[in-house]
A and B are shown apart, each in its own frame.
Chain A
Amino acid sequence: MFKLFNSSLVKKYAMAISGLFLILFLFQHFTINLTSVFSEKVFNSISHFMGNNPIVQFILQPILIFGVVFHFVMGMVLDYQNRKSRSVKYYYVKGSSNSSWMSRNMILSGIVVLLFMFLHFYDFWIPEMNYKYVEVNPLDPDRYYFEMTHKFESPIRVSLYSFSFLFLGLHLLHGFNSSFQSVGVNNKYILSIRGLTKLFAIGVPLGFVFIALFHFTNSI
C-alpha cells in the first residue's frame, strides 16, 4: 500500500480525489450555512440533525477529518519532495510568464486555509465536542443559531474569516479543475469544468463571507 505511494501518479490521484471530496464537503457546509440567512428554524433543525445523527457523527465526521488531514499531509509531502528535486535554484525565474500565481502557491494558500481551520475548530468544533461529549449537556435543538451568530459579533473574527476565504478561493481556483486533469479528464468538457471552477471558487468563498457579514451587521 505504502509502496504504491512511491509513484508520483498515485500521489497525484490521491491529492485530486481527496481534494474533490473536500470540495463536496465544502459545498454541503456552504448550503447549510446559507440557510441561516433565510431561516433560524431551518438552520437549527439541520444543525441539530448533523450534530446528533450517529451516521454523520461517527462515520462521516471521522472520514472527513481523515480526508482533511490526508490532503494536508500529502500536500506538504509533495511540496517538500518537489522543492528537493531542484536543489540548486535558478538565479532568476519568471514564473508569471507561464503559470498562474494560484498554481504556484498552493502550499501558501493551503497553509492559510489550514490555520483558518484551527481557528474554526477552536471556535466551533471544540466547544461543540465539549458540550456534547465532555460536559454531556442535555439536547437543545434551538441553540445552534444563537451560538453561531454570537461568534460573528466580533469584527476581528469576521475579518480573519474573510481573509481566509480569499485564500480558500485562490486555492480552489487552481485545485478544482486541476483535480480533473489529475484523474485524466481533459476532454471536450474541460471548458465547462473551468467555468464551474470559476463559479465555485469565487461564488462559494464569497458566499461564506456574505454569511459572516450578514450576521455581523445584524448584530450591530
Chain B
Amino acid sequence: MKTYKMSNVSPDMSFLEMMDVLNSKIISEGKEDPVAFDHDCREGICGMCSMFINGQAHGPDRLVTTCQLHMRKFKDGDTIVVEPFRANAFPVIKDLVVDRSAFDRIQQAGGFISINTSGNTQDANSIPIEKDDADKSFDAATCIGCGACVASCKNASAMLFVSAKVSQYALLPQGKVESKQRVLNMVKQMDDEGFGNCTNTGACEVECPKGISLKNVARMNSEYLSSTLKP
C-alpha cells in the first residue's frame, strides 16, 4: 500500500484524469514507475477502466464507470483508497490492472449465435420480435463486461455478467435455437474459471454501471434448470 499526496485536483476532473495527473507527477519526479491502470474509451462504453475505490467498484457514484466518476464526489483532503478488482478469476497483472480474459472465455463458450453464411440467411428485420422482449434483450446487451459485478460481490461471483449475456440471446428468436446448450456451456465455463457461487446479495446489481437487473439472473436460473431437466 502506497500513499500519494495530490494537489490542484479540479472537482471537474474525472477519476482517470486525476490518475493521469498523478502519473505525470510521478514521471516528472523520475523516482518510480507510474501507477498502471486500465482505460480505453473514457466514456463509459468499453468497460476497460476498473478500480475499487473507497470500498466500491468504480467508486461511490451509481451507474457510472471509473472514467465517468468525477472528483467532485470527494472532499478536499480526503484519503481515497484505490485497489484493483480482486477475484481469483481476475489475476492482477500490475498495480490496478487486472486480467479479465475469463469473461472472454465465457463469451466464447456460448455468447454468440451461429448463422448460416450460405447466402440464404434470413434478414433479421423480417423476423417479428415482441417489443417487450426486444427491450429486455437490449437492456441485457448493454453490459460492457467491466467486471464490477464480480469485484463487488462478496463471493466474487460472475452471475450478473453471465446472465446478461445469456438473457440477451435467450429473449430473441435468433438466440432461442441454441439457448439450451448456450446456458449450460457458459455456466460451466464460469464455474471452471473459479468464480464464486451467487448468494443473491444483490451487490452486483447496485454497483453495475449499466444497471443490469437481477431479473436476468433469475432468467438464467430458470433457463439452466429447464435445460438441465430437458436437455
Which residues of A pack against B, CB within 8 Å?
4, 6-13, 78, 81-82, 84-95, 97-100, 103-104, 106, 174, 178, 181-187
- Ordered nearest first, which 3 A-B pairs have the shortest CB separation? A184-B222, A94-B55, A186-B218
Q: Does B190 touch A at the CB level, under 8 Å?
A: yes
In angstroms, Cα B92 to Cα A174, docked, is 33
> Within the assembled complex, what's the spacing in Å between the Cα atoms of A99 and B203?
5
Separation of A10 and B188 alpha carbons in the complex (Å): 11
For the complex with contacts A81-B196, A85-B88, A184-B223, 14 further pairs of A-B residues with Cβ separation under 8 Å are: A9-B225, A82-B155, A82-B197, A85-B89, A86-B86, A87-B88, A90-B55, A92-B83, A94-B56, A97-B206, A98-B152, A103-B200, A103-B201, A184-B222
Query: Can you show 29 pairs from A to B with CB atoms below 8 A apart?
Result: A7-B187, A8-B157, A8-B196, A12-B197, A78-B199, A82-B196, A85-B88, A85-B196, A86-B196, A88-B92, A90-B83, A92-B83, A93-B55, A94-B55, A95-B154, A95-B203, A97-B56, A98-B56, A98-B207, A103-B200, A103-B201, A181-B200, A181-B218, A181-B221, A182-B200, A183-B222, A184-B225, A185-B218, A186-B215
Residues of A within 8 A of B224 (CB): 9
Query: Is B202 engaged at the interface, CB distance under 8 Å to the other chain?
Result: yes
By the criterion CB–CB under 8 Å, are B206 and A99 in contact?
yes
* A10 with B228, Cβ < 8 A, contacts A98-B207, A181-B214, A184-B222 known: yes
Whole-angstrom CA separation of A62 from B53 in the bound complex = 50
Binding site for A on B (CB under 8 A): 1, 52, 54-56, 60, 81, 83, 86-89, 92, 152, 154-157, 159, 187-188, 190-191, 194-203, 206-207, 214-215, 217-225, 228
Task: Decide if B60 touches A99 in the complex (CB within 8 Å).
Answer: no
Given contacts A86-B156, A98-B203, A184-B222, whether A8 and B187 have CB atoms under 8 Å apart is yes
Contacts of A104 in B (CB 8 A): 154, 201
What chain B residues lie within 8 Å of A13 (beta carbons)? 221, 225
Bound: A190/B181 CA distance, A: 28
Chain A residue at smallest Cβ distance from B188: A7
Contacts of A7 in B (CB 8 A): 187-188, 191
A182 x B196 contact (CB < 8 A): no
Instruction: Please tell me which one of the listed residues B81, B157, B199, B215 contacts residue A103 in the complex, with CB atoms under 8 A apart.
Output: B199
Which of B86, B190, B201 contacts A8, CB < 8 Å? B190
Given A13-B225, A85-B156, A95-B203, A8 and B197 contact (CB-CB distance below 8 Å): yes
Q: Let me know if A178 and B206 touch, CB within 8 A.
A: no
Q: Are B198 and A85 in contact (CB under 8 A)?
A: no
Partner of B197, one of A81, A92, A103: A81
Which B residues lie within 8 Å of A94 (CB)? Answer: 54-56
Min CB distance B3 to A, Å, is 12
Shortest CB distance B66–A (Å): 16
Bound state CA distance, A135 and B100, in angstroms? Answer: 64
CB distance from A172 to the nearest CB of B (A): 14
For B214, list chain A residues within 8 Å (CB). 181, 186
Q: Determine the chain A residues whose CB is within 8 A of the CB of B83 once the complex forms.
A: 90-92
How many Å from the CB of A67 to the closest CB on chain B? Answer: 19
> Within the complex, what minimum Cβ distance (angstroms) separates B28 from chain A?
28
List of B residues within 8 angstroms of A89 by Cβ: 86
- Give Cα distance in the complex from A84 to B81, angstroms: 24
Residue of A97, A181, A187 touching B217 (CB-CB under 8 A): A181
Taking the closest CB of chain B, its distance from the CB of A37, in whole angstroms, is 35
Residue on A nearest B60 in the bound complex, by CB = A97
Report the bound CA distance from A182 to B221 in whole Å: 6
Kindly list chain B residues whose C-beta atoms are within 8 Å of the C-beta of A86.
86-88, 155-156, 196
User: Cα distance A98–B52 when bound, in Å?
Assistant: 14
